[in-house]
Structure 1
Amino acid sequence: MKGSAIMQKNHVTSRIVVTSAVTMLAAFALAGCGDDSNGSSPTTVELSNNMGDPLGQVEFVEVDGGLEFNADVENLDPGFYGFHVHEIGECEPESQAPDDPNNTGDFLSAGSHIAGEEDANHPEHAGDLPTLLVKEDGTAQMSVVTDRLGASQLMDFDGSAVMIHADADNFANVPDRYLGDETEPDEDTLSTGDAGDRLACGVIEGVVEE
């Protein structure tokens, strides 16, 4: 009788554990659906430097209110880094800029920031995102939702590219007190926020329409 009671107790315990596990899995599934109410799936972009070394990844997904970016970056020195989306899905080291073949450098094949408005300056480009803060352990995590971009812009016929720059992005914020009578922000400030060289790049593939 005692052995039978123990077996019955264990059977009941097992049912409780299994039921609890199923309940937890259902809760996680519902929570996952809540994060992405429009039902779209995340797209993952792998980042690498000019030597091909992996530096992490960025996911983006359409959510209510815009496009959500989730960055998980590693193997960088601590500090701030410019973080943008560029207009062409090509990450070629030592390449030519599409608008100036004489201008060569790492990942210049990705073109400029996705501008949105034709005459937009930094930081009003559609592809301008907040600066990454890399911690002392060389990693950075960031989540941001922007209403300036949609997935269709990123995945157009020539794709696009996620870019990490070597320097901090000043968002073209030059207070008037630092300007002389004839001094104005130059092209580097107005186009990139002085974010410097292109340190890491990840291709977002374009969708070819039939």
Structure 2
Amino acid sequence: MYKSLLFVAAAVALASAHDDIEVTRAIAILKADGVSGNVTFTREADGQIRIGGRIVGMKPGMYGFHVHEKGDLSNGCASTLGHFNPNGNDHGHPHDENRHVGDLGNIEFDSTQTADLDFVDHLIKLNGRHNIIGRAVVLHSMADDYGRTDHPDSKKTGNAGGRVACGVIGIMDYTLPKSNAASTSSASVVVALTFYTFVAALMC
């Protein structure tokens, strides 16, 4: 039993030394009644995030598409709360300076009830303050008006209607920064061995 405890302690210490990973790709899987699809988020060389994927099951037209604050689906899409908005801005168009970080505008479904996604966004990120990992992507029932109408919900939600489908954004791929790889590896071993020695001393 003591050996198991020591192994777990060392593993925890080792894992904690890798907190500086850089996420390079993420994915969300959407599924609801009649609607399903995958959405990927890939970091481009210039730092922008490319949103790709395919969603099927909506009638032809434009529909609001946003990143919401919480990756909590315990009460369906309702528990994802509002749009991800760490800067306290009004709702807007993806190209507006004054917008929620999670404002990704509209996606279009064609005559086959399919939306093929392929566009970039400069504000969402996979690391740092605007990190969307662990949050949720939500597909709405109406078109986003980009905060440009007189409707009372326009500057809050784009008056995009109810939430049709949603999915939690999870890590798909990541890298360890090259500049820190060697030092992190060494630090991991030192931390793990130090923790192992400390616990072993307590067991004696």
Q: Does the alignment pair 1:117 with 2:99?
A: no
Q: Which residue of 1 aligns with 2:158?
A: 193
CA–CA separation in structure 2 for the residues paired with 1:65 and 1:42 = 12
Q: Which residue of 2 aligns with 1:142?
A: 117
Q: Going by fraction, where is strand more abundant, 1 or 2?
A: 2
Secondary structure in 2 matching 1:130: strand
**2:41 alignment partner AA:** F
Q: Which residue of 1 aligns with 2:144?
A: 169
1:142-172 Cα distance to aligned partner (Å, 9 max, x none): 21211111112112xxx20011000000011
Shift of 1:40: 6.1
Show structure 1 runs of 5+ residues with no match: 1-38, 96-105, 175-183
**1:169 alignment partner AA:** D
Query: Taking structure 1 as reference, are residues 149 and 41 closer, same or farther at Cα in structure 2, changes over 3 Å only?
Result: closer
Secondary structure in 2 matching 1:190: helix
Q: Does the alignment pair 1:107 with 2:77?
A: yes
Show structure 2 runs of 5+ residues with no match: 1-21, 93-98, 172-204
CA–CA separation in structure 2 for the residues paired with 1:198 and 1:54 = 12
Q: Which has the higher contact order (CA 8 A, sep 6+)?
A: 2
CA–CA separation in structure 1 for the residues paired with 2:67 and 2:146 = 14
**TM-score by structure 1 length?**
0.61
CA–CA separation in structure 2 for the residues paired with 1:171 and 1:74 = 23
Contact 1:89 1:205 in 2 (8 A): no
Shift of 1:116: 3.2
Identity across matched positions, percent: 31
CA–CA separation in structure 2 for the residues paired with 1:170 and 1:154 = 23
Q: Which residue of 2 aligns with 1:7?
A: none
Q: Which residue of 2 aligns with 1:9?
A: none
Shift of 1:44: 2.1
Q: How many residues align?
A: 140
**2:169 alignment partner AA:** I
Query: Taking structure 1 as reference, are residues 58 and 66 closer, same or farther at Cα in structure 2, changes over 3 Å only?
Result: same
Contact 1:46 1:54 in 2 (8 A): no
Secondary structure in 2 matching 1:145: strand
Q: Does the alignment pair 1:48 with 2:18?
A: no
Query: Taking structure 1 as reference, are residues 48 and 109 closer, same or farther at Cα in structure 2, changes over 3 Å only?
Result: same
Cα RMSD, aligned residues only: 2.0
1:174-201 Cα distance to aligned partner (Å, 9 max, x none): 2xxxxxxxxx542x21111100000010
Q: Which residue of 2 aligns with 1:154?
A: 132
**Displacement over 6 Å in runs of 4+:** none
CA–CA separation in structure 2 for the residues paired with 1:69 and 1:196 = 22
Contact 2:105 2:146 in 1 (8 A): no
